[in-house]
Chains A and B, each alone.
Chain A
Amino acid sequence: MKKNIIESYLHDFERELRLNDSFNVELLAEIESHLLESVERGLRLGLNQEKAEEEALKRFGTIKVVSSTFEKERITPMQKILLALATLSGLFITYVDSRPTWDDTGITAGVILLLCGLLALIGYQRPWLLALVVGAWIPLYGLFVTHNFASILALIIAFVGAYAGWAFRIGIRKAFKTA
């Protein structure tokens, strides 16, 4: 059966919310209720079903606009503190790793992995940004100062840690919801 454009919008919106870790059933139900109300208004004004749905979506805003507004509202002081902490930690790790007396790459990699995982686990909501602010400094130093191209691994490890922590947090939350 062909989906109408409201259903398609809700489907895409749900996917966007899930990607941003902001999905909740009530929010989607609220948006659906709003859109259906808006369609009814259009029908009362004499539009046909298709035009009324188009108008409702036009008034509601594109998925990008609405989801980015949700994203901005989620940047709480705690998120800013966690990001600042991650940035400072990333810089400190790079400083330690760049010392000539430091040659334990395994410990550096482990610290990056654990730090990113832990910060994502305790609540930082944008794993990609977390990985960048922790893991980008070593490759930047490696590429531009010591010409060590293998240093890019630090960024990959940061991404692995951040997304592992994030996935674990979502898993825990789902488990609690279903329990």
Chain B
Amino acid sequence: MIGEALKGHLDLLLLTILSEGSAHGYAVIDSLRQRSGGLFDLPEGTIYPALHRLEKQGLLKSRWREDSPRRRRVYELTTKGQQALAKRQDEWKIFSRAVNATVRI
């Protein structure tokens, strides 16, 4: 249930995490898990297709970093990604407000 609900908002979550600084896939997934208190615990491999799609759309860019014990592909938000994030955050506010009002929380 949580996994299915999460899929519709994964882009927003990934863009939010990466808006706070560049990170490699493992760190993004770790952050997602920690911030959600373990609730957003998708199979780790399923995050990469979303990261690659966001990169293809020009919302992220990536580069290989060699300064750690092993090579890591690090993602960061582009200017287009920052604009997309702002738009999605606004949409989320409207959506969550409407849901809360409907279910009377």
Residues of A within 8 A of B (CB): 26-27, 29-31, 33-34, 36-38, 59-62, 65-66, 69-70, 72-73
Residues of B within 8 A of A (CB): 24-26, 43-46, 48-50, 52-53, 64, 70-73
| Among B25, B26, B43, B70, contact of A65 (Cβ-Cβ < 8 Å) | B43
Residues of chain A contacted by B44 (CB below 8 angstroms): 34, 38, 59-61
Residues of chain B contacted by A31 (CB below 8 angstroms): 45, 48
CB pair B45 A33 closer than 8 Å: no
CB pair A30 B43 closer than 8 Å: no
Residues of chain A contacted by B52 (CB below 8 angstroms): 27, 73
State the Cβ distance, A62 to closest chain B Cβ, in Å.
8
Q: How far is the CA of A157 from the CA of B31 in the complex (A)?
A: 51
A33-B72, A38-B26 are contacts. A72–B43 as well, Cβ < 8 Å? no
Instruction: Please give me the residue from chain A that is nearest to B50 by CB atom.
Output: A73
State the Cβ distance, A112 to closest chain B Cβ, in Å.
32
CB pair A26 B45 closer than 8 Å: no
Q: How far is the CA of A66 from the CA of B72 in the complex (A)?
A: 20
Residues of chain B contacted by A37 (CB below 8 angstroms): 26, 70, 72
Residues of chain B contacted by A34 (CB below 8 angstroms): 24-26, 44-45, 48
CB pair B48 A72 closer than 8 Å: no
A38-B26, A73-B49, A73-B50 are contacts. A60–B71 as well, Cβ < 8 Å? no
